[in-house]
Amino acid sequence: MTHKKIVILKGSPREKGNSAILAERVADGARSAGAEISSFYLHSMDIRPCDACEACHENGGKPCIIEDDMQKIYSAIDQADVILIASPIYWFWLSAQTKLCIDRFYAYAGKKPNMLAQKIFALVFVFGDSDVYTSGGINAIRSFEDMCRYLGAPIGGILYGSADEAGDILKQEDLLNKAYQFGKKLGASH
Ligand SMILES: Cc1cc2nc3c(=O)[nH]c(=O)nc-3n(C[C@H](O)[C@H](O)[C@H](O)COP(=O)(O)O)c2cc1C
């Protein structure tokens, strides 16, 4: 039996904000099932935008030639079974920090085999509005599903909640319990 390895990509500038809290609760559940977690706080990292050089699709070597902190994430992803994206909703989509990181997954997409097709993707997000449609959360779900379909990667689940001030999500015990159970499922050994 091998322990699952989970990479968490936290896309809020608020290090202890609502999406990070939700992601940590997922991580707690996953750890309880024996998983190992590597978390990345994207806002503190030097992640440059994809510059469309296409080198990733021309060489068989490392995923991307841009020498920035994304290399640390690529290394963690190499080892991972599960990739959990955790983001606030900003302007009706995932945050810019999250988008920068996701764009750089392009480096895997043209490779054969496409390594991300073997990873399970999961998403947690938080919005300030009360509704998943008017908040723009629906756009995050749609784009996430499109990304997974394009990569051929299985979806491990999507969890979201509504909260505005940092830490407000802590008042939602039901949601936090759901996050813990979600983590347990993601972290269950193969
Ligand atoms: C720049 C900015 C843009 C935002 N845009 C939206 C939005 O489009 N829809 C929404 O429902 N909430 C929006 N919010 C509210 C955040 O989604 C909400 O505060 C959420 O709890 C932030 O999660 P975090 O604590 O993980 O950063 C926005 C907040 C900021 C700062």
CATH number of the CATH domain containing 39 = 3.40.50.360
As a whole number, mean pLDDT of residues 135-146 equals: 98
pLDDT value, residue 110: 72
Confidence of residue 109 (pLDDT cuts 50, 70, 90): confident
**Which of residues 98 and 2 earns the better pLDDT score?**
98
Beta carbon of 41 within 6 Å of any ligand 1 atom: no
Distance of alpha carbon 134 from alpha carbon 103, whole angstroms: 25
pLDDT value, residue 180: 98
List for the chain the helix, strand, coil content (%; round to 5): 45, 20, 35
> Rounded to the nearest whole angstrom, what is the distance from the C-alpha of residue 167 to the centroid of ligand 1?
13
> Rounded to the nearest whole angstrom, what is the distance from the C-alpha of residue 131 to the centroid of ligand 1?
13
Beta carbon of 165 within 6 Å of any ligand 1 atom: no
List pLDDT tens digits, range 54-75. 998 886 667 899 999 999 999 9
Query: In 3-state terms, what secondary structure has residue 162?
Result: strand
Strand-pair partners of 40: 9
List pLDDT tens digits, range 7-66. 999 999 999 999 999 999 999 999 999 999 999 999 999 999 999 999 988 866 678 999
> Rounded to the nearest whole angstrom, what is the distance from the C-alpha of residue 49 to the centroid of ligand 1?
22
Structural domain of residue 147, as residue ranges? 5-187
* Ligand 1 atom nearest to 88, measured from its CA: 23
The mean of the pLDDT values for the chain is: 95
Helix axes 18-32, 173-187, angle to 10 degrees: 50
The total of structural domains in the chain comes to 1
pTM for this model (two decimals): 0.97
Confidence of residue 122 (pLDDT cuts 50, 70, 90): very high
